[in-house]
Structure 1
């Protein structure tokens, strides 16, 4: 049952991304163009640091899959692309491994193909400390993701229906494992209030993972005999909305959900993220062309992000948080309702000097 579900998730997610077009919440964010802001490309460094973690590039392949022969092959290609580009990668939830140890290789292949890379293991918020440690050991993981997915579980026919223990479990895992703990949503976003609670639990980093990318409510609804939960399509806050909502919380942030191209990466960094990740587009690329296609795409993204930073005058990813940005449309309306002042973002380059750090600019701390 678990293997069938994982294969179905891949199928529905791929179909969803092939159909998706039109407006994306990231389109409500634009940079103010300063024609003399540019610097020399050789002065740009993509290294990003957050929560005691250092990555050579502010980009990562976010959690996707594992637990069946088909998804194991996908994980192999993802890991090869990560190895060839030096980009961090997260495995999908290892819950299938807890239920059936015979699927271990569908996850372990990531470390086998990427022995020196930065790999994040992934568990759900119901996991015990013992299971969290097993997940880290399985992959010799450098960090642990804990995913929050109450809406997905609600729509999933066989999903969990008990969520009250999630907060205490996260705190126990954060105190009980020897690697950094990163809590992420699965595409419905992390609100300011949720981020404040997560900070109290001892997690190092949060991945806001907002709406705009893969919609797991829709995927689980497609798996039902009748689409009873169609009204939940689009539930949650977008990734840009979550980043703006997080001002002043002081928890390092990652951004995933709806990231389509290097400009969206730059936008996410400008709104306070330390790195940006994607899943759906990378999955589709692997299914269409295997590891070579994804490797080429990741290299292209890295090259283009460097080019954008050069034009914007950002020597480091953190410097993008000093660039002037405008907030439009529905995102501006969200900010107004949540009492978020976006006007200062449009002129912050006038008052920010080289001594100001990334999260100080956004309103938090490193």
Structure 2
């Protein structure tokens, strides 16, 4: 390798952003959305400008069903600026936002400031983020509450990333007994816990295990977008270690994960929130995700370059995605998000 990876938690954040900017192959494609065909209505019988894209998430209204997915956090000024730009854009456009893993703030206290974003987004849902495997590495309810408090968060992502940890040179690989640890943790926290994969998809078995542990919010984060396995390949300790490439396309596609989640939730569906993420790149993908049963959608990578530039760039990107989403609703004859969700009649059957 031309550059040795930084083994510190903060260094990993820098390495991740650097890899995303240098390797276009990290964006994998193949979410499954291209196989979903929807029924165009030539007579939608709607006024495009009056279509209602609003929804709610964690008790707060969103302008349309979007959450800015977890990206980063750390002590670097550039990373803090990314989170600030994202938070300001979330507030301006009325969408939710989740931060990247907050483990770094326990290793490097100076990193806390990059997560203190509530002042920039006073009204929209914010979601804190801790790796679930850290419950086996010394983090507990106190640290989770600290992660929630610094954001004044409305929820806490416990992200599930066994593939990334397996490939990562300094990865934490003991995922044993985690579901019991989660079941014990969740009642101790002041906000809901959400399960989130990071690009390999939640299976039906994962959803059922989460339900048994008291989890009611799930972000499937399927295969087809950013490959964290390939990102970690760039941080390999040995030049001939190709594990990250071998597993770069491992997992359930976002469409497969949504289908499994819908089946697993069954009668519990009305009491749960299902988030689609993993390769969602435009408003049409979002509409397809809702038709497949999602309540809202997460997007990260398409906003990173804009977030490195300015808040206004992020706002413009989100506004374009919302226009795409609303236009697709119009062309399907759907006046609001309720008309989209789980509406199998909108899917063309070959």
**Do they superpose with TM above 0.5?**
yes
- Who is 1:101 aligned against? 109
Q: Give the count of matched residue pairs.
A: 327
TM-score (norm 1): 0.84
Distance 1:146 1:173, change over 3 A: same
- 1:309/1:76 Cα in 2 relative to 1: closer, same or farther (>3 Å)? same
Structure 1 residue 219, shift from structure 2 partner: 0.8
Correspondence list, 1:241-320, <5 A: 241-248=256-263, 249=265, 250=269, 251-287=272-308, 289-320=309-340
Q: 1:145 aligns with which of 127, 149, 157?
A: 157
- Check whether the contact 1:78–1:286 (CA below 8 A) recurs between aligned residues: yes
**Alignment partner of 2:253 out of 238, 261, 265:** 238
Superposed, 1:75-86 pairs within 5 Å as 75-86=83-94
Deviations 1:122-152 (A, max 9, x none): 0111241111111111110011111000110
How far 1:20 moved relative to its partner? Answer: 4.1
| CA gap 1:134/1:19 in 2 versus in 1, 3 angstroms | closer
Gaps of 5+ in 2: 1-7
Give SS of 2:150's match: helix
Out of 35, 39, 46, the position equivalent to 2:42 is 35
Q: Deviations over 1:202-231 (max 9, x none)?
A: 112100000111111111111003333021
Q: Which residue of 2 aligns with 1:57?
A: 64
Asked if residue 92 in structure 1 is aligned to residue 104 in structure 2, the reply is: no
2:274, 2:294 within 8 Å by CA — same for their partners in 1?
yes
Residue-by-residue CA offset, 1:256-297 (whole Å, 9 max, x unaligned): 10011110011111100000111111112223x321111111
Task: Quote how far apart the aligned CAs of 1:18 are.
Answer: 7.4
**Structure 2 CA distance for partners of 1:101 and 1:163, relative to 1, 3 Å:** same
Where does residue 190 of structure 1 map in the other structure? 202
Specify the alignment match of 2:227 in structure 1: 215
Distance 2:45 2:171 in 1: 51
Could you state the TM-score of these two structures normalised by the residue count of structure 2?
0.87
Q: Quote the Cα distance in structure 1 between the aligned partners of 2:27 and 2:159.
A: 24
